[in-house]
Amino acid sequence: MRQLIDFVCKLFIEIFGAGALSKEQCIIYNDASANCPMLVRECNHKLIHPICIRLNCSDLSYWAQFIFQFSHELTHYVIRQYKVDKSAIIKWFEETICEAMSLYIVKLAGERWTECELASVKSSFGNSLVEYYQNKYNTTAESALSNCKSLSDLKELDQCCESNRVARSIERNYLFDSFVSMPYSIQSLVYYPLFMRGDLSAGYYTVNFADWTSSSNYSPLVDCLQNIQPKFA
Ligand SMILES: [Zn+2]
């Protein structure tokens, strides 16, 4: 799937710069029998090197699924490059960002399909990609995130954020729309790890947006990211 990887990487480089994709070696492979796609960082609780992006495509000829999964995991990879502590993560927040980026990249890939080498094999596939992201976009459920009234509600949601992605679909779509309206601000999302609240033993659950907003890493997208974080006293 070299052509799809090259195409998606090209779109990422336009957004994040070449440096964000070349900081750390990474092996990409597909395992149709795995539980899920994943950025694999450890094995039996030991850090591995190089890290891997494991895809979980049912069939490698399913290009839309490949782009969808790869762009999600590649977003985790890019954000990781800005983490001092590589294990630190605000799961509910980072997953929502990756889901929105995944939709955004599938949309972009559909609109710019002629730039992919595989366009010579299937020239009209761009339409299928646009249809694919629209179907995902239109699959929503009531927001569990906006119903979080306390930090313990948020911790509970965080624990099942990978098994219940649709509970954050309203926020995913909101971020996707924000990416579409301000593509040049997308790059700034990689700085979120610099503003995480918490620590490794107690966990990280919220972002300190006041600090982010007053920093040199601020962009208008930060206001949109702030809007998806539940507000409680
Ligand atoms: Zn993920």
pLDDT of residue 137: 97
Domain of 137, in residue numbers: 2-228
Ligand 1 centre and the CA of 69: distance in Å? 9
Q: What percent of the chain has pLDDT over 90?
A: 84
Q: Is residue 233 domain-resident?
A: no
pLDDT greater than 80 at residue 227 = yes
Counting every residue written for the chain, the total comes to 233
17 falls within a domain = yes
- Is residue 233 pLDDT above 80, yes or no? no
- Of 64-68, 203-207, 223-227, which range is least confident? 203-207
Predicted local confidence at residue 142, as pLDDT: 92
What is the C-alpha separation between 126 and 35, in angstroms, rounded? Answer: 28
Residue 158, domain member (yes or no): yes
197 three-state secondary structure? strand
| Ligand 1 geometric centre to CA of 116 (Å) | 25
Predicted model pTM: 0.95
Does some domain include residue 143? yes
Task: Judge contact between 32 and 57, C-beta under 8 A.
Answer: yes
Assigned domain for 24 exists: yes
> What is the chain's mean pLDDT, rounded?
94
The tokens describing 3, both together, are: 């052509």
Whether the per-residue pLDDT at 206 is higher than 80: the answer is: yes
- What digits encode the pLDDT tens for the residues 120-167? 999 999 999 999 999 999 999 999 998 999 999 999 999 988 888 999
Structural domains of the chain, count: 1
Note the pLDDT of residue 18: 95
Residue 86 phi/psi, 5-degree rounding, is: -65, -20
Q: By three-state DSSP, how is residue 118 classified?
A: helix
Cα(115) to ligand 1 centroid in Å equals 27
Ligand 1 centre distance from Cα of residue 97 (Å): 9
Euclidean distance between CA atoms 187 and 176, whole angstroms? 14
Find the 121 Cα to ligand 1 centroid distance in Å: 30
- The tokens describing 227, both together, are 């809007």
124 in any annotated domain: yes
176, part of any domain: yes
Beta-carbon contacts of 134 under 8 Å, excluding residues fewer than 6 positions away, are: none
DSSP string, 216-229: TT--HHHHHHHHHS
Please check whether residue 183 is in contact with residue 155, taking contact to mean a CB–CB distance below 8 angstroms: no
Lowest-confidence segment of 59-63, 137-141, 197-201 by average pLDDT: 197-201
Q: Is residue 58 part of a domain?
A: yes
